[in-house]
């Protein structure tokens, strides 16, 4: 989560909402890819930290199936990102701060664990939650 927090800080420096993500290999320690929000930087509404990290991990591994991998992200994934995580077949999603307004991993929705879908990653929430939430609060307070 510390690496994801570092990515989130990069997003804030670029004027984007401070969300950072890291994809870990099946061994749980090797970092396959990193990402942070780049919506403002690139003018791309899909440039969320999770989507960018998953794309980069797929490129690094040479396959879209990220079976055995873990995505670590500072903020609970939204519906778009939750869908991407299900489609990429990550085994585990670890997130920091809950997103009661748009979260899709247990808060507002629970897309990643919807029994109607063919893949349901494990979800671990609240890791470094206060630190992750503080980054977001500070960012929006300054705005």
Q: Is 38 in the active site?
A: no
| 122: β partners | 92
pLDDT bucket at 140, cuts 50 / 70 / 90: very high
Q: What percent of the chain has pLDDT over 70?
A: 100
DSSP 35-99: EE--HHHHT-TT--HHHHHHHHHHHHHTSS--TT-EEEEEE---HHHHHHHHHHT-SEEEEEE--
Q: How far is CA 85 from the centre of its chain?
A: 9
Task: Quote the CA–CA distance of 25 and 79 in Å, as a whole number.
Answer: 23
pLDDT bucket at 143, cuts 50 / 70 / 90: confident
At residue 12, the pLDDT reads: 97
Task: Quote the CA–CA distance of 20 and 4 in Å, as a whole number.
Answer: 5
Please tell me whether 36 is known to bind a ligand: no
Neighbours of 44 (CB within 10 A): 12
- Average pLDDT over all residues of the chain: 97
- 110: CB partners within 8 A, 6+ apart: 104
Please tell me whether 69 is known to bind a ligand: no
- 142: CB partners within 8 A, 6+ apart: none
Q: What percent of the chain has pLDDT over 90?
A: 99
Selecting among 7, 38, 40, 50, the annotated active-site residue is 50
The mean pLDDT of 138-142, rounded to a whole number, is 95
Which pLDDT tens digit goes with each residue over 50-95?
A: 999 999 999 999 999 999 999 999 999 999 999 999 999 999 999 9
């Amino acid at each position: 989560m510390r690496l994801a927090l570092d990515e989130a800080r990069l997003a804030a420096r670029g004027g984007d909402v401070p969300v950072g993500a890291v994809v870990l290999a099946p061994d749980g320690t090797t970092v396959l890819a990193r990402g942070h929000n780049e919506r403002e930087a690139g003018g791309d509404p899909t440039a969320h930290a999770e989507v960018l990290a998953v794309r980069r991990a797929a490129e690094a591994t040479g396959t879209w199936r990220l079976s055995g991998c873990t995505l670590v992200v500072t903020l609970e994934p939204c519906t778009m990102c939750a869908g991407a995580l299900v489609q990429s077949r990550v085994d585990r999603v670890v997130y920091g701060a809950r997103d009661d307004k748009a979260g899709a991993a247990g808060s507002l929705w629970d897309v990643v664990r919807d029994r109607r879908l063919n893949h349901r990653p494990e979800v671990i929430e609240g890791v470094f939650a206060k630190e992750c939430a503080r980054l977001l609060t500070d960012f929006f307070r300054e705005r």
